Amino acid sequence: MSEPVSDHLEAERRVAAVIESSVLIGLLARPLGHLRHAAASSLAAMVAARIWTEWTRLATGEQRFAGGVALLTAVVVHIGLTVRHEIPAGWLWLLVPGTVTAAGFILLLASDLLKDHGSPP
């Protein structure tokens, strides 16, 4: 027959206690604690949290539009820097920018913001 649920919980508690008392876990927990404390008091983490909060307040269509614009901007900058340095041989170097361009246009089209600016339905 099966053991009662309380026996399973007790076994899990014992395993958790053994793991927590492990020297290796202790060695890993200390630096992670320092990292958590550093991230909590970091100016960069505070700015990132503020940006994330503002981003989540945007409507879904606005998020898609901003993401599409960011991807298309990244493609233009990437191709501009690549061509300025040296044009690679062949066409394979255009696969990643082409894929990202397609994703950017899909996000723009899915944003519904273009419908307000007279684009075709």
Given 57, 75, 91, the domain boundary residue is: 57
Given 25, 57, 89, the domain boundary residue is: 57
pTM > 0.85: no
Say whether both 40 and 73 belong to one domain. Answer: no
Say whether both 52 and 62 belong to one domain. Answer: no
Given 57, 79, 101, the domain boundary residue is: 57
Say whether both 71 and 53 belong to one domain. Answer: no
Torsion sign over Cα 104, 106, 112, 114: positive
**Average pLDDT, whole number, for the chain?**
84
pLDDT (tens digit per residue) in 70-112? 999 999 999 999 989 888 888 888 999 999 999 999 999 998 7
Say whether both 97 and 49 belong to one domain. Answer: no
According to the model, what pLDDT value does residue 2 have?
A: 53
Asked whether the beta carbons of 108 and 114 are under 8 A apart, the reply is: yes
Q: Which residues contact 63 (CB under 8 A, 6 or more apart)?
A: 55
Q: Which domain holds residue 85?
A: 58-117
